[in-house]
Structure 1
Amino acid sequence: MNSEEMIQKIQELKQVKEDLLAQIRKTIVGQDEVIDKVLIGLFANGHMLIEGVPGLAKTLLISTIAKALNLTFGRIQFTPDLMPSDITGSDILVTSRDSERREFQYIKGPIFANLILADEINRTPPKTQAALLQAMQEYQVSSGNTTRPLDLPFIVMATQNPIEQEGTYPLPEAQLDRFMLYINIDYPSYEEELTIVQNTTGVPQEEPLPLLSAEKILQYQAAIRTMPVSQHILEYAVKLARSTRPGTPESRPEITKWINWGAGPRASQYLVLAAKARAALNGRLTPAEEDIRSVALPVLTHRVLVSFAAEAEGIKPSDIIKQLLS
């Protein structure tokens, strides 16, 4: 994509964002910050981990966005007995109609969609969680001796419940690192909850209209990748990620004493990509320091492992990131 096409697409994106928000708000009340983060992840082509207590419309939000973007949508409810083949699909033995000959036929799993909702991902064992790893990183699925490409864009939006941890399987660090953003959904305000109850206990609300297509979204993602970034912003992103690692020149001992492991190089990449997407969605042609700071919390929170001493004092990874930004 040349610079003229990139500029045109970025200029379009601000209006596209407004149109998308108008459609999403037909169904979703409030949660503006959450919706902004989800749109950043979508246009930066990054997977997202969404955490919140039951009943906060996590599933509804994702399915509503899929409708507004006009993407194919696959929902996988993770349970303790879910098998990898239930996600990726499997070969089954079928008999052809014309003859009695039997042959194996591949039946695609729900992962063959543009937008995947992995509901309560921490309720299934690591073996099944790992079935998502190859798809999330390589955009393809292996079954037997055959590797099949996934339709693009391919984005996984996983949800998990922060309460009821009995019988759950925390995500391995390697898989956590593949999520670009960690998004926490909190309770709505009094006014928002009043509107939610009013809207959902009366006449069914209007459905969101499909505005985009997979092809259009790929074009916007390519434009965001093409955006120029100043050396200063690149250095700022890398220094911020490195400041979470104990023992580096960029770290602050009074803060990193609470950290066992800091964010890896993927965090630096995602800081820049998410900042590009945020700038583009606001109609700007290059990201600023403000964009890096704005996306730092969702990019870094799940990549910082706090020490036992920090846990004992109730210090969370988000508290550490906020201190680093201040």
Structure 2
Amino acid sequence: MSANTPQISPEEAVRRVAQAREALVGEVHKVIIGQDEMIEQMLICLFARGHCLTIGVPGLAKTLTVSTLARALHLKFTRIQFTPDLMPSDITGTEIIDQDPASGQRSFRFVHGPVFSNILLADEINRTPPKTQAALLQAMQEHEVTIAGTTYPLTPPFFVMATQNPIEQEGTYPLPEAQLDRFMFSINIGYPTRAEEREIVMATTQTAKPEIRPVLHGKDVLWAQQLVRQVPASRHVVDYAVDLARATRPKEPPSPDFVKKWLAWGAGPRAAQYMVMGAKARAIINGRFAVSADDVRAMAYPVLRHRLFTNFNADAEGIDVDQVIEKILETVREPSYGESLPPTSAQNERKQSGAASQVAPPVPPPPPRG
């Protein structure tokens, strides 16, 4: 960014992101009734440059929600229906032989697959073999794909939402751990309340079809993603996220006894990274330019849920992953501000944070509308 680029205050930037979030949620709720937690977590994931795995029985509007969100964001949306015979090239694309009708000369031409979009829905991702599931690994982590030795970048923003049915096991393939770790969130979707279900029936049995108005564009999303990374997180908040992640590892000394008893293995370093990034995004869409421990706690369930694996002891006692996370949150104490710093640097950081609170750093302005 050049020195002449106009800048706005963090307060103004946060206000604009919060307004954009309200507008997006309003558009999505024209079609989707209820599911507030799922919608908020999807927006957090999008603004934090993550990907999400949604788990729920059929009919809970998983597919409809992401397609509606894509329309409200004015982004390119593609859907892949994962099936047992799906091939990696059906996702990433392939090279075909082209012949020039004039000269008769043949050459290879790359045909882009559905992964070349902004929002990609991987519907029922566990119905395809691991070889095909792995075709998304590079795209999700590096935002590019390599075909026949040539690397093709994906157009940002790039957001993958995968769906999975938890009750069907026949004809499915469990996601590999490497694939699961690429997802920032695992979102469990429950049934609607009675009032919501009644409203769903009323809305879907009439002729009226709501019109979705695009309220954000790709450049707006990229600006929000850049802004999220500039949200300050104090050291004690980061330490809290690290302590939560380390407490899930049964072979690590800090882990509680119940973790050693119930978990086969725990979360890797990505868990702490995603908890902090998710906490930053949650803070900013709720109108705050600072992260609190409450934001980290709110991110613990969706970030850790698919990274912890219970053992036979937990299965025998009827303990699920969410119950383990609940006990970890009860056990791991939030570090105080001074505890997170060496004694000599605690005073210096307090002075620096005090000065920073008086003069907040400027942030880049949102892109102009054209």
TM-score range, shorter chain: over 0.9
Residues 94-129 of structure 1 deviation map (CA, whole Å, 9 limit, x = unaligned): 222433222221110000001100000000000000
The TM-score with structure 1 as length reference comes to 0.97
Equivalent position of 1:265 in the other structure: 269
Percent identical among aligned pairs is: 55
- Structure 2 residue aligned with 1:173, among 166, 171, 177? 177
- Structure 2 residue aligned with 1:90, among 89, 94, 109? 94
DSSP 3-state at the match of 2:102 = coil
Tell me whether 1:25 sits opposite 2:17 in the alignment: no
Equivalent position of 2:71 in the other structure: 67
Q: Assess if the C-alpha contact under 8 Å between 2:249 and 2:259 holds in 1.
A: no
Tell me whether 1:244 sits opposite 2:248 in the alignment: yes
Q: Which runs of 5+ in 1 are unaligned?
A: none
Q: Which moved more, 1:176-185 or 1:308-317?
A: 308-317
Q: Which runs of 5+ in 2 are unaligned?
A: 331-370
Equivalent position of 1:76 in the other structure: 80
DSSP 3-state at the match of 1:156 = strand
- Structure 2 residue aligned with 1:279, among 262, 276, 283? 283
Tell me whether 1:131 sits opposite 2:131 in the alignment: no
Tell me whether 1:112 sits opposite 2:119 in the alignment: no
Q: Which moved more, 1:30-39 or 1:9-18?
A: 9-18
Structure number, greater radius of gyration: 2
C-alpha distance 5-222 of structure 1, shift in aligned 2 (>3 A): farther
Q: Which moved more, 1:310-319 or 1:126-135?
A: 310-319
Tell me whether 1:16 sits opposite 2:16 in the alignment: no
Task: Report the Cα distance in structure 2 between the residues aligned to 1:256 and 1:43, rounded to whole angstroms.
Answer: 35
Task: Report the Cα distance in structure 2 between the residues aligned to 1:251 and 1:42, rounded to whole angstroms.
Answer: 31
Task: Report the Cα distance in structure 2 between the residues aligned to 1:15 and 1:237, rounded to whole angstroms.
Answer: 28
Residues 55-86 of structure 1 deviation map (CA, whole Å, 9 limit, x = unaligned): 11110001001111111111111000000000
Task: Report the Cα distance in structure 2 between the residues aligned to 1:278 and 1:249, rounded to whole angstroms.
Answer: 31
DSSP 3-state at the match of 1:67 = helix
Deviation at 1:207, TM superposition (A): 2.2
Deviation at 1:230, TM superposition (A): 0.6
- Structure 2 residue aligned with 1:226, among 220, 227, 230? 230
Equivalent position of 2:187 in the other structure: 183
DSSP 3-state at the match of 1:302 = coil
Deviation at 1:6, TM superposition (A): 4.7
The letter for the 2-side match of 1:228 is P
DSSP 3-state at the match of 1:257 = helix
Task: Report the Cα distance in structure 1 between the residues aligned to 2:99 and 2:211, rounded to whole angstroms.
Answer: 42
Residues 267-322 of structure 1 deviation map (CA, whole Å, 9 limit, x = unaligned): 00000000000000001001101101111100001000111111122211111001
Task: Report the Cα distance in structure 2 between the residues aligned to 1:248 and 1:140, rounded to whole angstroms.
Answer: 35
- Structure 1 residue aligned with 2:202, among 193, 198, 205? 198
Deviation at 1:5, TM superposition (A): 5.5
The TM-score with structure 2 as length reference comes to 0.86
Q: Assess if the C-alpha contact under 8 Å between 1:10 and 1:224 holds in 2.
A: no
Tell me whether 1:325 sits opposite 2:329 in the alignment: yes
